[in-house]
Amino acid sequence: MEIVVYGIINSITLSLISLGFTLVYSISRVPNFAHGALYVTSGYLTWIFLNKCTGMPYVLAIILGIGITAVVGALIYQFILVRVRGMEISEIIATYAIGLAILEGLRWGGLRGGTFSLPAFFAGSVDILGVSVDYQRLIIVGAGILTFILLYLFTRYTKMGLAFRGIAQDERAAMMLGINSDVTAVLSLGIGSALAGLAAILLLPLGNIVVETGYNVLIFAIAVCVIGGLGSWGGVIVASFIIGFAQILTESFLSAHYQMVVALLAIILTLLVKPSGIFGKQKELEERV
Amino acid sequence: MFEAFEMMVFFENMIALNNVSITCGEGKIVGIFGSNSAGKSTFMHAISGIILDIKKKEEMRGGERISVFGRVFFNGKDMSAVKPHNRAKAGIVLCPERRRIFPESSVLENLKIGSFLTGGTKTRQNLDYVLDLFPRLKDHLKRQGGFLSGGEQQMLAIGRALMASPKLLLLDEPLLGLSPAYQEIVINGTKAIRDSTGISIIITEQYARPVMPIIDYGYILENGSSVLAGTREELMDNPDVKSAYFGV
């Protein structure tokens, strides 16, 4: 029973982590390797607001942390990525370099040691199916599901969301209809960074804010996206559950050290068996003439 | 109303479009005919501004060098340097070759994405108009665009372009790969759009025969140059056009 409950929690955690990465990729075709850095940035900013600005309520600190992270993401596109757009290798190098700069900059700026942690939203725990689960993990599950629903509604029923879907499927055809691809790309990076920030705020109360989290988060996000098929939303959910449960299973039968190995092995297996991922480009939708 | 003046496009040193000038008056249908590689699509890309995006992407990638010369005037304004999405905002909307509908979106969603520039009651009006024009789309509103037949996709592509409330609609090879029955639907639809809304239309096609009856004025492109121009009657009476396009 423990495996099922914690498997679900772990899966939703993974999908929260990868959501921002896949959103950015599907809309702007930029593989945002600074994703992990933005994740840590958001957590650290919230910690600063909470601890250095006395009297600031937790909610306001969270909103500011996520908001600033979103702006940072948008600025990264506006000033750096716009110059290398369309060159995949350069995009990866540029975003990875930005990520490294941010993470190591934070380390240099004092983010060292295990003294940085965010408080849980509510203390305490509850029994579910005989397994004790703390409130924070329940909030993660709820917020994860809510985020998915909101994103679904946003991309189906709002004008900007529909423009996102258009750009994601055929950039030039969308351009012909008056959609500005640079604006959607900036917005997608902003929203993607905000999602990374949101994941950080939800997950960091379970542990400490350390620089290494940034690298781990990036690897998990890439693993989920490669297995699910880059840029596919359904793929994110399915792949999160596959990796999520695989991790929990190895943790309970082998050892917790193998978590990262599972993610990396899954990448290798996917690339060997079905390189486009589970929900990669559907063949039957190819153009008919 | 619309004028493309001395358009020239080079891909590296190859000339794709050589001094082509075309005008289109308010509420007119202008046809551009030519075989493969005559420069029809390049011309459409040039006047819709897409060529600027292609050029930019190629430059960034260090790929092909594309040079564009000439001027595009629309309602008295010089649009030559205007980006494609802003040209669409001004009213020049391209319905691209091979349709390029959004394959993973439903028919209704394709139309909704098309209405990015409009909103509110205008969107509703446009949607009703498109569904009246092509009633067949009504039966497939929930179906994914990629699963439609070629003819239905073409209707959807034209409908999607209409959702943007164009003043000048550019149809690039709308009959490509369509059965004669669908060709008729699309051609009748094109004429109906002009007659009921007054939208000006520029249409390119390889085969002049089905399109000729609805145009007001036509141009013949060959190897990137405009070799012949005239009203419908003039073109249909021309012996060269007759032998090349009507096989008489």
Answer yes or no: are the C-beta atoms of B31 and B203 closer than 8 Å.
yes
Cβ neighbourhood burial of B191 (10 Å; 0-12, 13-18, 19+): middle
Asked whether residue A97 is domain-assigned, the answer is yes
pLDDT at A284 over 50: no
Q: Which residue has the tokens 């239905």?
A: B152
**pLDDT of A285 above 80:** no
* Complex prediction ipTM: 0.92
What rounded mean pLDDT belongs to chain A?
Answer: 90
Find all residues with CB under 8 Å of A210, minimum gap 6, and list them.
A111, A114, A116
Q: Convert the pLDDT of each residue in A183-195 to its tens digit.
A: 999 999 999 999 9
CATH number of the domain encompassing residue A224: 1.10.3470
- Option in B104, B119, B150 nearest A288 (CB): B150
Give yes or no for B50 touching A (CB within 8 A): yes
Residue type, B178: L
State the smallest CA–CA distance between residue B243 and chain A in angstroms.
Answer: 28
| Cα–Cα distance, A147 to B176 (Å, whole number) | 43
Q: Is residue A268 part of a domain?
A: yes
Binary contact (A181, B85; C-beta < 8 A): yes
Contacts of B177 (CB under 8 A, 6+ apart): A289, B150
pLDDT tens sequence across A145-159: 999 999 999 999 999
Angle at A14 (CA atoms; ends A230, A255), nearest 5 degrees: 120
**A80 within some domain:** yes
Cβ neighbours for A251, distance < 8 A, ≥ 6 positions apart: A258, A259
Q: Under the phi-then-psi rule, with left for phi > 0, alpha for psi from -120 to 50, and beta for the rest, what region is A75? A: alpha
Task: Quote the tokens at residue A258.
Answer: 């193998």
- Is the separation of the CB atoms in B137 and B163 below 8 Å? no
For A229-267, what is each residue's pLDDT tens digit?
Answer: 888 888 999 999 999 999 999 999 988 888 889 999 999
Is A55 part of the contact surface with chain B (CB cutoff 8 Å)?
A: no
Cβ <8 Å between B98 and A287: yes
Q: Give the contacts of B92 (CB within 8 A, at least 6 positions apart).
A: B2, B47, B48, B49, B74, B79, B166, B167, B168, B170
- Nearest chain B residue to A162 by CA: give it: B113
pLDDT score of A286:
44
Q: Are A11 and A145 in contact (CB under 8 A)?
A: no
Instruction: Locate B48 and state its tokens.
Output: 């819709």
* Cβ-Cβ contacts under 8 Å, B119 against chain A: 159
The predicted-structure confidence for B101-135, as pLDDT tens digits, reads as follows: 999 899 999 999 999 999 889 999 999 999 999 99
Within a domain: A124: no
- The lowest-confidence range among A95-99, A111-115, B220-224 is A111-115
Q: Please tell me the distance from the alpha carbon of residue B24 to that of residue A208, in angstroms, as a whole number.
A: 67
Residue A121 covered by a domain: no
Share of chain B above pLDDT 70, in %: 100
Cβ neighbours of residue B15 under 8 Å, at least 6 residues apart? B8, B9, B224
Residues of A in contact with B116 (CB under 8 A): 159, 162-163, 166, 177-179
Looking at the DSSP bridge assignments, the partners of residue B4 are B22, B72
Domain membership flag for residue A175: yes
A200 lies in some domain: yes
pLDDT at A114 exceeding the cut of 80: no
Note whether B228 contacts A: Cβ–Cβ < 8 A. Answer: no
Residue A179 sits at the chain B interface (C-beta within 8 Å): yes
- The count of domains in chain B is 1
- Which of the residues A177, A181, A282, A283 would you substitute to probe the B interface, choosing the one with the greatest number of B C-beta atoms within 10 Å? A177
Contact B119 A159 (CB under 8 A): yes
Any chain A CB within 8 A of the CB of B116? Answer: yes
> What SS3 class is residue A286?
coil
* Chain A positions in Cβ-Cβ contact with residue B85 (cut-off 8 Å): 175, 178-181
pTM: 0.90
The DSSP element (H or E) to which B20 belongs, if any, is strand B14-24
Task: Find, in chain B, the residue whose alpha carbon is nearest to that of A182.
Answer: B85
Let me know if residue A205 belongs to a domain.
yes
Tell me, what CATH number does B117's domain have? 3.40.50.300
Residues in chain B: 248
Q: How much is the mean pLDDT over chain B?
A: 94
Per the structure, the count of domains in chain A is 1
pLDDT in tens, A3-57: 899 999 999 999 999 999 999 998 988 999 999 999 999 999 999 999 888 788 9
**Owning domain of residue A95:** 2-110+131-277
**Does residue A95 register a pLDDT over 60?**
yes
Which domain, by its residues, includes B143?
2-246
Indicate whether A118 pLDDT > 80: yes
CA B30 to mean position of chain CA atoms:
10
